[in-house]
Amino acid sequence: MRYNKKNRVEHYIFSRICVMLLLVTTICYITEETLLHSFPKEVMAQRFGGSDYLTYRDFDYGFRLTYPSDWQRTSETGICATRNCDYIVTFSVGPEAVLRVFFLNVGNIPYKTYNSQYYNGVNQQGAEIFGRQETYIGGILPGGNMLYITRTSDTNEPIGIDESWGKYGRLGYLHFKFVAFEPDALTTYAPIAERIINSFRME
């Protein structure tokens, strides 16, 4: 009798635990579905980094990027001051920040050598460098990334820069330079700029 009673008690406890687990799983699923369908569209877009993306294609260099529809595709002058620089396109988000894409025709330099040369060049210009690393543009082009701060020549205001580049064939390096003009723009928009860069695909 004791053995049977013990078994019944254990069976009852086990069944209650199973029911509770099933109930918790169901509640979590219903809660998640309710939240997903009850949020306003603009909140959902902000939460998931934006659902409306446009495609930019460059036929000269043979690649494409996707960028948020609330970022404006523009053209700038004076970005390339040297003969070996070829300006391509700019994506801007208001006056706070821009992502500039340009090509540096430096020849067939190994990317590790180029990374060191570019780092030394930025460092000699007096920038405050906070980090650098090797990376791949869109998981394809080997290159580097560097986070640094420069200052405006007139007011000495800090400008945050998160710059990535990748070896593009034997001609040189494709650069993606994210520039934040406002103090909070670097942390706010740099992840979106990184998503644009990671969308890089060759065509």
Structure tokens at 136: 């791949």
Give the range of the structural domain holding residue 123, as residue numbers without chain letter. 48-202
Is residue 8 located within the same domain as residue 73?
no
Position 43 in a domain:
no
Position 144 in a domain:
yes
Position 6 in a domain:
yes
- Residue 47: pLDDT over 60: no
Is residue 9 located within the same domain as residue 76?
no
- In whole numbers, what is the pLDDT of the chain averaged over residues? 80
Is residue 70 located within the same domain as residue 124?
yes
Is residue 56 located within the same domain as residue 9?
no
Is residue 82 located within the same domain as residue 32?
no
- Residue 33: pLDDT over 70: no
Structure tokens at 202: 């060759």
Q: Could you tell me if 200 and 138 are in contact, meaning their C-beta atoms sit under 8 angstroms apart?
A: yes
Question: What single letter denotes the amino acid at residue 17?
Answer: I
Is residue 53 located within the same domain as residue 32?
no
Position 138 in a domain:
yes
pLDDT for 43: 35
Is residue 31 located within the same domain as residue 74?
no
Q: Could you tell me if 72 and 88 are in contact, meaning their C-beta atoms sit under 8 angstroms apart?
A: no
Position 113 in a domain:
yes
Average pLDDT over residues 13-36: 40
pLDDT for 181: 93
pLDDT for 51: 52
Spatial CA neighbour of 79 closest among 98, 61, 59? 98
Position 79 in a domain:
yes
Q: Could you tell me if 180 and 96 are in contact, meaning their C-beta atoms sit under 8 angstroms apart?
A: yes
Is residue 33 located within the same domain as residue 108?
no
- The model's pLDDT over 66-86, given as tens digits with 9 standing for 90+, comes to 999 999 998 888 888 888 999
DSSP per residue, 39-72: S-HHHHHHHTT-S-EEEEEETTTTEEEEEETTSE
Is residue 189 located within the same domain as residue 102?
yes
Spatial CA neighbour of 134 closest among 150, 102, 110? 110
Name the percent of the chain lying above pLDDT 90: 61
Is residue 55 located within the same domain as residue 100?
yes
- Total domains in the chain come to 2
Is residue 34 located within the same domain as residue 56?
no
Of 48-62, 65-79, 144-158, the poorest mean pLDDT is in: 48-62
Position 11 in a domain:
yes
* Residue 101 or residue 184, greater confidence: 101
- Rg over alpha carbons for the chain, rounded to the nearest Å, is 26
CATH, residue 116: 3.40.1000.10
pLDDT for 155: 73
How far, in whole angstroms, is CA 188 from its chain's centroid?
Answer: 11
Is residue 86 located within the same domain as residue 110?
yes
Position 74 in a domain:
yes
